[in-house]
Amino acid sequence: MAFDFKLQKLLDYRDSQKSLAQEELSRRQRELLEIEEELKRLEHKSEQLLEFHRGRQVEKIDVFALMSIESYRTFLQERFRCKKQELGQSQEQVEKQRQHVVESWKGCQVLEKLKEKDLGRYTREENAKEQRFNDEISLYGYLRKEK
């Protein structure tokens, strides 16, 4: 008779939940990395704009160019502020998802331990049955020799 763990369906379900939680964590981490890259890109563009403005200070700039530079700088600052806020939210989501993964992992570990205990008990029972069977065969052989 093969070993049959009574809670196998629950273990399989929790394993699939753990896998889904891990996938969600990796997705959220990728999003976080994308936001961080966007922040770096915005920061770089802001620095480029500042360098452009410094380089043009010696030259005569018309009012429209100056207004364009200022409006673009304001746009970059606003975008940077929004991305910073989004970064904070994303970090919170990643941390929550990480906790969810840990909880899923713990739930699977509990069931794995139960499965190991059941398997150990099953193995001991099977060994005891086999030993009884071997004892019966030996006893039968011994009694047969005496006759």
Domain boundaries defined on the chain: 8-109
* pLDDT 10s digits, 54-75: 777 767 777 787 788 889 989 9
How confident is the model at residue 103, as a pLDDT?
94
How confident is the model at residue 88, as a pLDDT?
94
How confident is the model at residue 147, as a pLDDT?
63
Helices and strands per DSSP (H, E), number in the chain: 2, 0
- Give whole-number Cα distances, 141 to 93, 129, 131, 145, in Å: 71, 18, 15, 6
* pLDDT 10s digits, 5-37: 889 999 999 999 999 999 999 999 999 999 999
